[in-house]
Amino acid sequence: MEFDVLVEIPKGQRNKYEVDHESGRIRLDRMLFTSTQYPADYGFIEDTLGEDGDPLDALVLLQEPTFPGCLIKCRAVGMFRMTDEKGGDDKVLCVPATDPRMEHIRDIHHVPEFDRLEIQHFFEVYKDLEPGKSVEGANWVGRVEAEEEIARSIKRAEEAPPQH
C-alpha cells in the first residue's frame, strides 16, 4: 500500500507548523513548550480522517529532513498508537516508497529499537508543559495494523460530510 504524506514539520524542528486546510498554506501553530525536537519529518496522510477529526498523522524516516509542504510517496512500516486530550491520535511510521536505502525496512521490528524509543519518548513528553494538553497510553503496532488504520481513515474521510 502506497500513499502520499504531506510534510508539515521537518525533523529537528521545535516549530509546530500545520496546513491551513482552507487556504492550503502552511501556518505556524506554535513553538513546542518543551525543549524537544521532532524526531522525523511529520505530517499527515492525504485524503484520510483520523479518530481525532484531523487527517491521519504520519512520520517519515528519511536520510535528510525535507520542508513544510513537501509531498512524499510512502509506505507504512508500523504505527504508534496513542491518545491525547482530543482522543485517538495515532502516528503512522513510514518510509519513502521508492528509496532503495529504506528497502530493508518492511515492518516495525526492522526499525532500530533506539529509533522507536526516541520517537516514543518525544510523543510522551512533547506536550508536558502545555496547559490543557495531555498524552496517554502509547504502544507500537506493526505494518498490517497500520495499513488497516489507514484504510479505515480513508473510508472515514470518504463518508465525512463535505467541509465548507
CB atoms under 10 Å from CB of 36, counted, come to: 15
**Active site positions, annotated:** 89
DSSP 15-80: EEEEE-TTT--EEEEEE-SSS---SSEEEEETT---TTSSPPEEEE--SS---TT-EEEEEEEEEE
Tell me the binding residues for substrate: 16, 30, 42, 126
Q: 42 CB contacts (<8 Å, ≥6 apart)?
A: 7, 8, 9, 11, 57, 58, 59, 60
Question: Residue ranges for the binding site for Mg(2+)?
Answer: 8, 52, 57, 84, 89
Task: Locate 32 and state its grid cell.
Answer: 513546542
Whether the CB-CB separation of 101 and 67 falls below 8 Å is answered with no
